[in-house]
């Protein structure tokens, strides 16, 4: 028996404004969006060995924080995304992999759009006073701790500096205005060694990722 495709809520899909995702109708609320990826004809390809023979390993659901502008405010919302995982059928591989999405950095649980908002709030721009990590956390009702705000900030900045994703217009503007912010200027008191901090941060992410895998936080069903 084939699974029935869920109905799509076009209005909320437009509000979410992430071209890779569709919002499922009749679920969640204004703070919580249940989503599926937009169907693609592209065949899954193993990221480790390039083989395209794969077995469907069922679905997983993953939660992400995202931000939606409503009036003057940036509202923090949760995305629950359900997607398929595949197991590579090459005899010497067997890698289990997920689709890659451009709206989120690998292993991250916050969308790039939200990270951009955080970077924009923390970097001095124009006449607006930059906010501290604590103030940004408060702006999101404490749902993201100041420590995590800082991690998101560091990750997005290093990603932009490494050219790992499309450079948003506001970042180009900062560069053109020679207000370029390098990670060595990070304004945190304990950031005397920013490169080390970023390396440590990536190590933490790796650790967290392997921990998640072991604890199977991603519910399989
Ligand atoms: Zn493979």
Distance CA 218, CA 131 (A): 33
51 alpha carbon – ligand 1 mean position (Å): 5
Whole-number pLDDT of residue 190: 41
Distance CA 81, CA 34 (A): 6
Whole-number pLDDT of residue 198: 52
Distance CA 47, CA 108 (A): 18
Whole-number pLDDT of residue 213: 43
Contact 147, 139 (CB under 8 A): no
For residue 93, how far is the Cα from the chain centroid?
27
88 alpha carbon – ligand 1 mean position (Å): 5
173 alpha carbon – ligand 1 mean position (Å): 41
Whole-number pLDDT of residue 130: 86
Ordered mean pLDDT values, 10 residues apiece, the chain (221 residues): 80 95 96 93 88 92 93 90 93 89 88 91 75 92 92 87 68 52 41 50 48 36 23
16 alpha carbon – ligand 1 mean position (Å): 33
Against a cut of 0.75, is the pTM above it? Answer: no
3-class SS of residue 17: coil
85 alpha carbon – ligand 1 mean position (Å): 13
């Amino acid at each position: 028996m084939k699974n029935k495709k869920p109905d799509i809520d076009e209005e909320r899909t437009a509000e979410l404004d992430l071209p890779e995702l569709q919002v499922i109708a009749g679920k969640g609320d204004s703070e919580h969006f249940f989503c599926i990826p937009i169907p693609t004809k592209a065949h899954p390809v193993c990221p480790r060995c390039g083989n395209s023979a794969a077995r469907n390993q069922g679905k997983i659901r993953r939660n992400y924080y995202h931000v939606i502008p409503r009036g003057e405010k940036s509202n923090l919302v949760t995305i629950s995304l359900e997607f398929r995982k595949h197991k590579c059928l090459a005899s010497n591989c067997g890698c289990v992999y997920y689709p890659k999405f451009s709206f989120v950095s690998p292993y991250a649980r916050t969308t790039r759009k939200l990270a951009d908002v955080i970077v924009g709030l923390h970097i001095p721009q124009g006449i607006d006073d930059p906010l501290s990590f604590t103030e940004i956390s408060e702006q999101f009702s404490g749902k993201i701790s100041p420590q995590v705000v800082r991690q998101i900030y560091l990750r997005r900045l290093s990603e932009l500096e490494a050219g790992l994703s499309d450079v948003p217009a506001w970042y180009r503007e900062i560069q053109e205005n020679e207000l370029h912010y390098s990670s060595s200027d990070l304004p945190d008191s304990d950031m005397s060694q920013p490169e080390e901090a970023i390396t440590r941060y990536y190590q933490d992410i790796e650790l967290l990722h392997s921990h998640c895998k072991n604890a199977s936080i991603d519910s399989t069903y």
